[in-house]
Amino acid sequence: MVAELVDGARRELRLRILSALVMAPVALAAVFLGGIAFKILVAVAALAMAWEWDRLWDRAGQRSAPRALLLGTTLAAVFLAAEGFAGWGIATALAGAASLCLFGVRLGRGSHWWGVGLAYVALPCIAFIWLRQVDAFGGRLIIWLLLVVWASDVGGYLFGRMIGGPKLAPRISPKKTWAGLAGAVALGTGVGAATALGMDATDVMSAALVAIFVALGAQGGDLAESALKRSRGVKDTSGLIPGHGGILDRVDGLLAGASLLAVLSLFGGESVLGWR
């Protein structure tokens, strides 16, 4: 019995690694190239996440009206942002979310959750696009963000497994520990500072400070996703990514991190990392 569990864990780990080795280069290449490649990547991911959100609340596939509004408005909002109209994209997403929430009675009981999903998916995707377009070094900013979020995930996993200790939120995510959170922040901050230094940032200390907030935000996004799945009684949002589950399962921290970095960049004079 124990041997079977170990073999299963190893197979899952190998599958996760293979999937990551395929996805990471594709994502980094699209970010580096920018243009249509990056826009297509974000649009496809946004639609996939909207579809996964719909599955969480309508497993039988019977709620066609809120589903159509969710998918259509998500695509429209992302398209506007991709064409340089981030403000209009945000307005479209918020209007669609408000409509689903306010007119939920007509569309059916519980339709407000489709409105929540619209905001949850579309707004971070718009933030992601805006960060890529914010200045001539937007590509570096996105790569920095990806590395910080990935590092925080790795740090959380390694420190949590090696140190263990008190649970962070046992009712939401039983495996997460305070040691894991500390490791996530530590590694995310270290990688953020090192990457900023390697990318010739004007203020590495500011980059490290921003990395702390991004790492914390990523862990918060992961917890929020865990709480959502627990409330729906599912382990994964879908099976789109072998060994990982769904798109939402893999980018929950990135959604929160991108949103937070966009806000900090906006109020900090667009480029809070101060790239030269």
pLDDT at 254: 94
- % residues pLDDT > 70 (the chain): 85
State whether residue 66 is helix, strand or coil: helix
Share the mean pLDDT of the chain: 85
pTM: 0.89
Q: Report the amino acid identity of residue 149.
A: V
At 138, give phi and psi (nearest 5°): -60, -35
Question: What is the radius of gyration, based on Cα positions, of the chain?
Answer: 19
pLDDT at 200: 80
pLDDT at 95: 95
Give 215 or 231, the one with higher predicted confidence.
Answer: 215
pLDDT at 75 over 60: yes
- CA pair distance 91, 68, nearest whole angstrom: 18
Tens digit of each residue's pLDDT (9 = 90 or more) over 236-269: 888 887 766 789 988 999 999 999 999 988 877 6
For the chain, domain boundaries: 42-133, 135-276
Closest CA to 215 of 133, 274, 159: 159
**Can you tell me which residue has the tokens 């790492």?**
215
pLDDT at 63: 72
Q: Mean pLDDT, to the nearest integer, of 149-158?
A: 89
Structure tokens at 189: 């901050």
Instruction: Please provide the distance, in angstroms rounded to a whole number, between the alpha carbons at the two ends of the chain.
Output: 57
Structure tokens at 101: 């929430």
- Range from 51-65, 82-96, 160-174 that averages highest in pLDDT: 82-96
